[in-house]
A and B are shown apart, each in its own frame.
Chain A
């Protein structure tokens, strides 16, 4: 499973999402690759216009918001 977080390098909210995702992955012992993309151009190519955004295996799960732990667990079906 590949989890991608789209944000910008200077956006503290985006880093918060990365931390929460990592926490969830670790807690549930998931086999997942967590990747942070700081390039809004790449986000635009995915049709995302509000950051931070989160995709799981390419599917957009959240955009323009800081997802909570529980929400992320939902996205990952755990």
Chain B
């Protein structure tokens, strides 16, 4: 549907050849991604009203089992990574006495894997890569947090001197209110993310139209491409929604999937703003190990995916 619409628009313009192709790709991908995003942020916003972090925290209290790690991952996937959300959730988990490994799992997953990205990835790159991104991200997070726990990193969380907090009070919310909250949040997120999508699609369209396939298959598919992609991803800061179109375009030109996933995760999770936010919760040493373990985990994941796919 979006494809024929893009075709139609381009056919009215006095351009042909390469430029027309790039423009068509640009219109099509922007429409597709923004449409999926608009639907998803609304749905997730609505569902989230049924899973407030307080509820998940009360469930996680004192659980040091595999389920604990699983629910911490879910909490990380559904909550946006920002000061208004991540830090209060982190503090709430600490004050409820949730085990360190589970808290760190949440802090690993939250910037790396996000629900809207899962759906957009599914719509653009198919289920295999989506599965690799979700399962891979959670695996990196859980193993990373087990390593940090084993290293005795717990004492390097910042101590806020929190005492046991009260159970979360239920606030009654009607369906109409939930829909309104979802709408409000959806609009906010769209406003925030759209510029990144436009930028990402522009870069993706440029790669699609101008970069010859050989450049990618010759230079970006060796064993070093994965660590290389992670390193390049560090200074690049954009929303994960801005990386997906670039990854899509690179994959269609022959970039190995593991390399693309590693690049996406590095851009999303290993950037300065992320670390500035996490500094509110972690002392320097933990922050350093967190970054190290995460980089290593992403590299291993990328190599593994390149090996099996």
- How many residue pairs link A and B with beta carbons under 8 A? The number is 76
Cα–Cα, bound, A65→B186 (Å): 12
A65 contacts across to B, CB distance below 8 A: 181, 184
B1 sits at the interface (CB 8 A): no
A62 at the interface (CB under 8 A from B): yes
Known: A13-B188, A40-B91, A41-B91. A47 touches B84 (CB 8 A): no
Cβ < 8 Å to B, chain A residues 5-29: 7-8, 10-11, 13-14
For the complex, count residues of B whose C-beta is within 8 A of A: 27
B65 within 8 Å of A by Cβ?
Answer: no
Q: Are B162 and A62 in contact (CB under 8 A)?
A: no
Is A77 in the interface zone, CB < 8 Å from B? Answer: no
Assembled-state Cα–Cα distance A62/B94 (Å): 22
Annotate B149-178 by CB proximity to A: 1 below 8 A, 0 otherwise: 000000000001011011111010000010
Cβ contacts under 8 Å, A8 to chain B: 83-84, 87
Instruction: List, sorted by A's number, 21 A–B pairs whose CB atoms are closer than 8 Å.
Output: A8-B83, A40-B87, A40-B88, A43-B91, A44-B94, A44-B160, A44-B162, A46-B165, A46-B166, A47-B166, A47-B169, A48-B54, A48-B88, A48-B92, A49-B54, A60-B169, A62-B171, A63-B54, A64-B52, A64-B181, A65-B184
